[in-house]
A and B are shown apart, each in its own frame.
Chain A
Amino acid sequence: MRDREEPLETTREAGAPAVELRGIDKRFGAVHASRDVSLAVAPGTIHGIVGENGAGKSTLMSILYGFYRADRGDIRIAGRTVEIAGSEDAIAAGIGMVHQHFMLVDTFTVVENVILGAEGGSLLASGTARARGELERLAREYALEVPPDARVGDLPVGLQQRVEILKALYRGADILILDEPTGTLMPQEADHLFRILRRLRAQGKTVILITHKLREIMAATDRVSVMRGGRMVAHRDTAATTVAELAELMVGRRVLLQVEKGPARPGPELLAVERLSVRDERGASRVRDVSFNVRAGEIVGIAGVAGNGQGELLEALAGLHPAAGGRILLAGEPVSSGGPHRRRRGLAHVPEDRRRMGLVLPFEARESAILGYHDDVRYRRAGLLDWDAVSRDTEAKMISFDVRPADPRRITAAFSGGNQQKLVLAREIERDPLVLLVGQPTRGVDIGAIEFIHRRLVAMRDAGKAILLVSSELDEIMGLSDRILVMFGGVVAGELPADRATERALGLLMAGAGPGAGAANEARRAS
């Protein structure tokens, strides 16, 4: 990279891959995150990398981008071995990366974000001027328009992502890595992103797309590599493979993509929501006049792009957010404000963010396992907390929900994501509640645990409980729900029975383009 001045073309060996990884090995303590991984990406292609959460995709890309250093192995860019010790080296080698969580400074403008780290001199004036020109050119070439002087924190997610891509291109990236780029995008925004990627490919750029969504792999890539347990297990031409084959390669066995469940037998209404409105701390309206119900023995799913009020709705139902208007009825009785009272009356809640809210990471598992139930007389003796009773109870829950290791004194943070989530579910479900609110039950959870969690939720439904499910995974919503509500701009934009819900129909509703779109858009504008 020392000879960055030379144009890359002259040094490129004919036919050499744009990126080649050879024998990359990386350990984090006891975790073997990359095991002898090799990969070749042809120039001018879109190359997908798929794998479960924890398969080692992100680690591999972090090594390529200089965030971690490999213990062993070589990185070759355009046929030349390079040493990548930090993101500076990666940038110099022509690699750009769009992270899953955007690496943007919210308080900076678009231009400031773009030039950060590539200011082109100790004064900002000239760099800023150059960046404006470049941004205009890139906008024309790749359909990447963004207002250059807007504060990035004020931009919608789709535009923030464009800023990330612009940052990479501004630095002269020939190779662009995108890590789970569609996680927070609406389907239409995702389509636009893929159009941009194809244009980049047409201009000779190389794109590496990391995702766990097989649909996207099939739609956007030329070639695909599959990772499992830190290993590279297969490379395929996209045209010559199928979703089923890729899924099998990912998990190492044949999986049922469809959740097995019988037809719902809905009973009496257990949760009713009447014209509920919620405002956030700043007074902005997040949920407006939402009404629906959940009956015994059914799962109602709420779909929507993150940030359209689902989170606030769930928290308001759980009593964590005061309602600005409307009523909530639990088994026919209106509930007053205050979370713990609802809990006592049979409402359980698996929060969207288990690490922040559902668990106390520095606590022992048994301490996390009584969160919200710490006032229970079962855990008390002579006025003090009876830790022996808590330990016994926690261990029983851990065994019943297959939490590994079933050690109630292990620190919560030391469990894997799936085991943490099972601990939360164990705590909430073992109480045998009437109504269960579940947010993102399988986010960051490995496939084995996903199956387990889905089975438990369906079993709960079949036991005559009411379940309200909020998830950003359309597959999950469609697989589990008996009825699906779509939220857009804080209102319910539409409702579909599960058997009539298609991805396209849901996608339109999620984008505010459904039949009720006029009202929803108006609501969004008014808020």
Chain B
Amino acid sequence: MSAVATGPAAGLPRWAVVGLLPVLNLLAAFAVSGLIVVLIGESPWDAVRILVWGAFGFEEAIGYTLFYATSFIFTGLAVAVAFHCGLFNIGGEGQAYIGGLGMALVCLHLDFLPFALIVPAAVIGAALFGAAWAFVPAWLQAHRGSHVVITTIMFNFIAASVMVYLLVNVMSRPGSMEPESRDFAPHARLPLMHDVLAAVGIDVAASPLNLSFLWALVCSAGVWLYIWHTRAGYRLRTAGASPPAARYGGISPPREIVVAMLVSGALAGCMSLNELMGVQHRLVLEFTAGFGFAGIAVALMGRGHPVGIILASVLFGALYQGGAELSFEVPRITRDMVVAIQGLVILFAGALEFMFVPVVRAVLARRSGG
């Protein structure tokens, strides 16, 4: 039996650490969420029923669930890549926001390009701007030792100010007071999945799920290859696990910090493709809506592995979609409930990751003993 060798879960079998503990943590988060529902005088069982039905009960719901999952995959991967380099990138929110700016600039100003060119150009715009927003905190961490957690938090606030300024004063729709840009040209939008599938003869219900979902899957595969199967990934992980060992091995930790943060920011920036190029078709205020922060929960749940991140993203997508359905059916439970659940998931799956280790250890010991 292969057992985990070190850390707080030392001695437990691998399946218990990778499979059982996350499930227990998730159940704990849900249990507390249920208590909150009880506290506001509603039935948690009804809430769960409506939530699950709302997320998976019908074709359209599944489309919405995957649509939300797409954004989570991008921000989750972003957090995970930085994690592997020992960095806690809390700036996904701001990087996605500025990434949206880059993407919007392409869609608004390069719309003379045909569809086949404007899509990759928009992807590059989103990734480039997202990466650029991560660069300053990255450089400061690498070369000045400024704690990236604090600087990325600050950059989230700065991004918010920058975007308000731009949307109010510079980029707003001509003749409108609304803080939003003009609409993207029709060919500067991502095709919706049900349209694509209809074109090949598959009929599914309409939903905002769009092509960026496939790009998210491609990015997941790319991150997997990058982190575990390339020399660049080896360098990044070494710098994250032990900077002195990296230096000894001829790897420059500052350089890896910058690279990891750039990749991280680029992935976060791609989140805007789903939301803006897929659905809104214009640049709007606060479209990131907490997805950047939620990426932390996703990455923690998914234990930094792309497969885990996809699973966790679907879970969170289901919470978002089901939560929307729930707030429609039970108005006293607003969508903010999903935010609270997110917080609980981060608490239990992240900070209290090993809370159940003694329990699991005791149960396993008793089973093997008797």
- With an 8 A cutoff between CB atoms, is B305 at the interface? no
Chain B residue at smallest Cβ distance from A29: B11
Question: Nearest chain B CB to A338's CB is how many angstroms away?
Answer: 8
Complexed CA–CA distance, A367 and B249 (Å): 12
Inside 8 A of B230's CB, which chain A residues have their CB? 383-385
A413 and B231 contacting across the interface, CB-CB below 8 Å:
no
- With an 8 A cutoff between CB atoms, is B352 at the interface? no
Known: A357-B244, A372-B248, A372-B250. A385 touches B5 (CB 8 A): no
Interface stretch among B26-34, B54-62, B233-241, B335-343? B233-241
Inside 8 A of B250's CB, which chain A residues have their CB? 338-340, 343, 372
Partner of B234, one of A320, A340, A358, A367: A367
- With an 8 A cutoff between CB atoms, is A140 at the interface? no
Inside 8 A of A343's CB, which chain B residues have their CB? 250
Number of interface residues of A (CB under 8 A): 33
Complexed CA–CA distance, A102 and B184 (Å): 66
Q: Which of A293-349 contact B (CB under 8 A)?
A: 318, 320, 338-340, 343, 349
B229 and A413 contacting across the interface, CB-CB below 8 Å:
no
The binding surface of chain B is classed by DSSP as helix
- With an 8 A cutoff between CB atoms, is B6 at the interface? yes
- With an 8 A cutoff between CB atoms, is B10 at the interface? yes
A360 and B6 contacting across the interface, CB-CB below 8 Å:
no
- With an 8 A cutoff between CB atoms, is B247 at the interface? yes
- With an 8 A cutoff between CB atoms, is B43 at the interface? no
Known: A360-B238, A361-B242. A410 touches B5 (CB 8 A): yes
Complexed CA–CA distance, A361 and B245 (Å): 10
Known: A361-B242, A362-B6, A384-B229. A374 touches B234 (CB 8 A): yes
Mark interface residues in B208-244 (1 if CB within 8 Å of A CB, else 0): 0000000000000000010001110011011001101
Inside 8 A of A383's CB, which chain B residues have their CB? 230
Complexed CA–CA distance, A29 and B6 (Å): 12
Chain B residue at smallest Cβ distance from A373: B249
A339 and B241 contacting across the interface, CB-CB below 8 Å:
no
B5 and A371 contacting across the interface, CB-CB below 8 Å:
no
Complexed CA–CA distance, A329 and B233 (Å): 33
A356 and B242 contacting across the interface, CB-CB below 8 Å:
yes
- With an 8 A cutoff between CB atoms, is A399 at the interface? no
B248 and A358 contacting across the interface, CB-CB below 8 Å:
yes
Complexed CA–CA distance, A289 and B241 (Å): 35
- With an 8 A cutoff between CB atoms, is A513 at the interface? no
Inside 8 A of A375's CB, which chain B residues have their CB? 231
Question: Nearest chain A CB to B82's CB is how many angstroms away?
Answer: 17
A357 and B225 contacting across the interface, CB-CB below 8 Å:
no
Chain A residue at smallest Cβ distance from B6: A413
Question: Nearest chain B CB to A104's CB is how many angstroms away?
Answer: 24
- With an 8 A cutoff between CB atoms, is A178 at the interface? no
Known: A361-B242, A385-B231. A320 touches B247 (CB 8 A): yes
- With an 8 A cutoff between CB atoms, is A351 at the interface? yes
Inside 8 A of A251's CB, which chain B residues have their CB? none
Inside 8 A of B225's CB, which chain A residues have their CB? 384
Complexed CA–CA distance, A83 and B292 (Å): 53
B interface residues (Cβ-Cβ under 8 A, vs A):
5-6, 10-11, 225, 229-231, 234-235, 237-238, 241-242, 244-245, 247-250
